[in-house]
Structure 1
């Protein structure tokens, strides 16, 4: 009974016991292993990517649900419950939704999709996918809490998660990573950064708590909507309220950091990221274009603030807002740039260009987009990331309309899969909780189609923004 109680404490994140107790539990679980036929290929639990199954001598109970089934590896253990209970477990244990795809899943979110295939070199190839391509029907929901166990000598933490996925429909996993896994030698810079991450998660949790579920149907026609597993409509109203609250909280955190000598650049960059999400979700939700336009201007202004904070932090006035050597920054720059061009806000396009003068003349895709309104931009025949952006460059470099269409179709088909490592990748599969989804749009593709007067009906794809 003592072993069961301490095991329950560990799996629910309430406590972990001493190292000796953890070792005793490990040896005990070794004796309880069995082969579960449901985990074999084609079985109902085949989507749970572990093969160490244990049948406990007595069922454990969480939030009124009972199970005696345990699955795991040497680094983590999860109770397996029949039914979908992640939200109830989150309420019972104080877990928050993983909106930013930062928490490791048992097996990884990417395994949900059959549309992408990992190659031996670690790259991803897109399987045939004829337009119009709908969003994937898979889904993934993770609620989590991270306990910081750092002791001044090492930096370590333990993560509790409640997890549901279309890879194992009808089941919920609840458990933790094992204490001590991933511990690194303490250094002040890493410790300070982790404290910022924990403070950031706390802000997200507090903002979510202020945003109740909408009581009325969403009044606008969405421009894109995620496929929710429950079949209920996506709660645009609640998610818009959450992002607005989160943006305001980050702005306040930035102001406090300026007053107390903290890292105000961190919070300014966080605010800039959320400002883009606010714009994107307003567009996605089908709000009137004037409201979308004002949100786009606010997103560009937030990038300007972040750039100023970074310049002050690093004592470098030439520092760009986005680092083109990082795919995350590069992709977001082209999305923002494409949105300003699509909406005809060339004043905002110029403001983005002013943030990136450090990269003038270095990237062909970026320069080709700017050249659509400024013929004086330099012609450059190389760029930072081949996938998926070579197809976009080829489209802008081509004169034959049929070839332009073909290049842009190729770009749309490869865009989502090529960005598989981004935090917002598969946001439409994490749309059950707040902040996981704000629309997935290749705004730069729509801007190019507009500039070249291409037939939009031949470019139907779920990441292609409708004409404004």
Structure 2
């Protein structure tokens, strides 16, 4: 049928049809609504969110898989297939893995974790029983392709998504967002940013395609490993090769750039350099090799700051904006790792990138006082959660209180950072780049500085060495 053909055209990327054709399909689907008892509470499809279910008059075949069941949400329509087919759909349709948690899930990943509970005000609280051990409540995998349909008047796109989740094990969603949903008026700055994002995704896709799965067992004992819900261990070798390829690709993009995107590629390289360091640590590689990667991550931050300073003609511009939680958290991770490795020179180089925030944050200043006792004592800091517990730990005189505060910090760290794009990376570990280790390096640096009992601080986020 023509209307089914328009759905296939969207999935395969051939086109999205006219607005009139899409409206006709919507009207047609309204006549095909069905009740799906499997989607009732407790049913096998109960975890597939949707407002309406539809039974198509004939099955649609994609990558050799057939389905006549459709679920429609407010902004998208998904075919529902029995079995795990997302990687096969990705290969057939040219989709790539969502390593950076940028694509909206049909219902979201965060609800998977039993270890964290959402509060009425939209915040998150840690369930006390989750203090020890990595949460294993769920997993989540998204493959996607975004087609830019901007026309110079509006910025809009259509996204094809193949999605598997422990919320509905045994099923795969394959569908598209609706054209025009979220469209915004065209402006040059936003359009340039979208072009950068699309170019970045293309680089990530090409690097992923160039990295074949490893056939040999990983030769080191990992310091942290994500859940393996299907019995397949995390491919450390392939992911390390991917990050190294990504760094080389960003360097080429920056060298070839002549359109004012230098700052974007430098910042992308700095983020990838941290990931490469963190994954080497996570993978259990020897500490000298990890330390070399840490040096490279700090150097990448210096390059990013120089590129941003040139782009904005502001030599005082910091590498990280403390008013943004993402930047603040990464600064403390890098600073904590530098102190943990005893690399006070790297900590000083990082501090030199942040002079715009000197004397403004009590947690940052207290950490830096380990290498410079002249740093000012500051009694305020940018983010209460989870960093108040770390501030209290650094300023407590009693060892018992210090230990309690640091335990509270570790218990709240992951849940408080729920909005970060690396949040729950251990549950997005079936594709390249989704996971590189989740570590509160600053907590380990504080424990080392205060001489706290590491045995009492056992936690999946706590770096075990050095």
2:262 equivalent to 1:269: no
Aligned mate of 2:353, from 352, 355, 379: 355
Alignment-derived partner of residue 363 in structure 2: 365
TM-aligned CA deviation for residue 12 of structure 1: 4.0
Normalising to structure 1: TM-score of the pair?
A: 0.98
* 1:221-236 aligned within 5 A: 221-236=221-236
Alignment-derived partner of residue 157 in structure 1: 157
Alignment-derived partner of residue 171 in structure 1: 171
2:159 equivalent to 1:147: no
TM-aligned CA deviation for residue 383 of structure 1: 0.1
Distance 1:89 1:455 in 2: 49
Where structure 2 has 5 or more consecutive residues not aligned to the other structure, the ranges are none
2:378 equivalent to 1:380: yes
TM-aligned CA deviation for residue 130 of structure 1: 4.7
Normalising to structure 2: TM-score of the pair?
A: 0.99
* 1:16-55 aligned within 5 A: 16-55=16-55
**1:41-92 per-position Cα deviation (integer Å, ceiling 9, x unaligned):** 1111111111300000111100111010000123100000000000000000
SS of equivalent to 2:129 = coil
Alignment-derived partner of residue 334 in structure 1: 332
Aligned mate of 1:455, from 428, 450, 453: 453
Distance 1:131 1:420 in 2: 16
Distance 2:163 2:217 in 1: 28
Alignment-derived partner of residue 390 in structure 1: 388
SS of equivalent to 1:248 = helix
TM-aligned CA deviation for residue 255 of structure 1: 1.3
Distance 2:440 2:138 in 1: 21
Distance 1:215 1:10 in 2: 35
Preserved CA contact (<8 Å) 2:114 2:137: no
Distance 2:345 2:461 in 1: 25
Distance 2:9 2:324 in 1: 40
SS of equivalent to 1:193 = helix
TM-aligned CA deviation for residue 155 of structure 1: 0.8
* 1:182-197 aligned within 5 A: 182-197=182-197
Change in CA separation of 1:77 and 1:261 when aligned onto 2, cut-off 3 Å:
closer
SS of equivalent to 2:265 = helix
Aligned mate of 2:290, from 279, 292, 301: 292
**1:207-245 per-position Cα deviation (integer Å, ceiling 9, x unaligned):** 001100001110000000000221111000000000000
Report the count of equivalent residues.
466
SS of equivalent to 1:424 = coil
**1:319-370 per-position Cα deviation (integer Å, ceiling 9, x unaligned):** 1000000000000000000000000000000001100011000000000101
Distance 1:249 1:11 in 2: 29
TM-aligned CA deviation for residue 165 of structure 1: 0.3
Preserved CA contact (<8 Å) 2:116 2:124: yes
TM-aligned CA deviation for residue 157 of structure 1: 0.2
**1:437-456 per-position Cα deviation (integer Å, ceiling 9, x unaligned):** 00000000000000001000
What do you get for the CA RMSD once the two structures are aligned? Answer: 1.0
TM-aligned CA deviation for residue 6 of structure 1: 1.7
Distance 1:243 1:236 in 2: 11
Alignment-derived partner of residue 247 in structure 2: 247
Alignment-derived partner of residue 84 in structure 2: 84
Preserved CA contact (<8 Å) 1:13 1:176: no
TM-aligned CA deviation for residue 308 of structure 1: 0.6
TM-aligned CA deviation for residue 135 of structure 1: 3.3
2:323 equivalent to 1:325: yes
SS of equivalent to 2:145 = strand
Preserved CA contact (<8 Å) 1:327 1:385: yes
TM-aligned CA deviation for residue 116 of structure 1: 1.5
SS of equivalent to 1:42 = coil
